[in-house]
Amino acid sequence: MGRKCFISFKTEDSAYKDFIQNNLDIDMIDKSLNEAIDSDNEDYIMSKIRKEYLSDSTVTIHLIGKYSAENRGKEEQRYIKRELQASLYHGKGDTRSGILGVVLPEMESTIYRGSFICPKCSYSHNYVGINDTTVIKEFSANYYIQNSMNTKCSWSEEDRYCVLVKWDDFLNHPEGYIEYAIEKRSSEIANKIKVYP
Ligand SMILES: [Zn+2]
């Protein structure tokens, strides 16, 4: 039984969205937010996006391509930011969704940069470039969830809400990654989500 997915993507990456839609056995909501919701009430906006766009999806697949960076500007990224905020939002009668970030092939070498020796703890960590030059803050802040002292130099899987996967790995095992992102909804780290980072 498939899970219902919402796909959050930039128009430039719509070929990847179409590929998922046409080739994977995934129950998908074929909508994306492309108009502003006229209200000053943030709870109303979130609830409206959840109802009209995300519908009864339990996971948001967020495609990370060359046009997904926070640095491209809040105005340029307003729709994907709203889509992720509404996915992360946990309100009355609404349940948050899991977030699965899929790194598109053209971004793989920018994001997965190998390992380095950490100047703080002198152990080796993998360098995963999830920051304002690659993704919006709604993703990065919930991928690298900071502890209260902001002293962390490395993150384990339990320290992340967002799940990250390379495009090819996702295609090889889509259900597994989707389930993993969905499980995060009821994990301890879900209490540390930042909806508006
Ligand atoms: Zn370290």
Lowest average pLDDT, out of 96-110, 147-161, 182-196, goes to 147-161
Lowest average pLDDT, out of 16-30, 131-145, 146-160, goes to 146-160
Q: What is the pLDDT of residue 92?
A: 76
Ligand 1 centroid to Cα of residue 193, in Å, is 23
- Tell me the pLDDT band of 145, cut-offs 50, 70 and 90: confident
- Does residue 151 fall inside a structural domain? yes
Ligand 1 centroid to Cα of residue 150, in Å, is 13
Ligand 1 centroid to Cα of residue 155, in Å, is 9
Interval 88-121: pLDDT, tens = 998 877 789 999 999 999 999 999 999 999 999 9
For ion ligand 1, residues whose CB falls within 5 Å: 118, 120-121, 153-154
Q: What is the pLDDT of residue 148?
A: 61
- Tell me the pLDDT band of 24, cut-offs 50, 70 and 90: very high
Ligand 1 centroid to Cα of residue 92, in Å, is 39
Q: Tell me the average pLDDT of the chain.
A: 92
Whether residue 2 is predicted with pLDDT greater than 60 in this model: the reply is no
Q: 168: which 2 tokens? A: 């090819």
Measured at the CA of 38, the angle between CA 33 and CA 39, to 5 degrees, comes to 120
State how far the Cα of 152 lies from the Cα of 138, in Å rounded to an integer.
19
State how far the Cα of 70 lies from the Cα of 78, in Å rounded to an integer.
10
By the 8 A CB rule, do 111 and 101 touch? Answer: no
- Does residue 18 fall inside a structural domain? yes
State how far the Cα of 195 lies from the Cα of 19, in Å rounded to an integer.
29
- Does residue 185 fall inside a structural domain? yes
Residue 184 sits in which domain range? 4-192
Whether residue 63 is predicted with pLDDT greater than 60 in this model: the reply is yes
Ligand 1 centroid to Cα of residue 184, in Å, is 24
Q: Which H, E and C letters describe the chain, residue by residue?
A: CCCEEEEECCHHHHHHHHHHHHHCCCEEECCCCCCCCCCCCHHHHHHHHHHHHHCCCCEEEEEECCCCCHHHCCCCCHHHHHHHHHHHCCCCCCCCCEEEEEECHHHHHHHEEEEEECCCCCCEEEEECCCCCCCCHHHHHHHCCCCCCCCCCCCCHHHCCCEEEEHHHHHHCHHHHHHHHHHHHHCHHHHHCCCCC
Ligand 1 centroid to Cα of residue 118, in Å, is 4
Number of structural domains found in the chain: 1
Ligand 1 centroid to Cα of residue 119, in Å, is 7
Whether residue 149 is predicted with pLDDT greater than 80 in this model: the reply is no
62 burial level (CB within 10 Å; 0-12, 13-18, 19+): buried
Ligand 1 centroid to Cα of residue 147, in Å, is 14
Ligand 1 centroid to Cα of residue 183, in Å, is 27
- Does residue 197 fall inside a structural domain? no
- Does residue 66 fall inside a structural domain? yes
Ligand 1 centroid to Cα of residue 8, in Å, is 32
Ligand 1 centroid to Cα of residue 164, in Å, is 20
- Tell me the pLDDT band of 1, cut-offs 50, 70 and 90: very low
Whether residue 25 is predicted with pLDDT greater than 80 in this model: the reply is yes
Interval 28-61: pLDDT, tens = 888 888 888 889 999 999 999 999 999 889 999 9
Q: What is the pLDDT of residue 33?
A: 87
Whether residue 174 is predicted with pLDDT greater than 90 in this model: the reply is yes
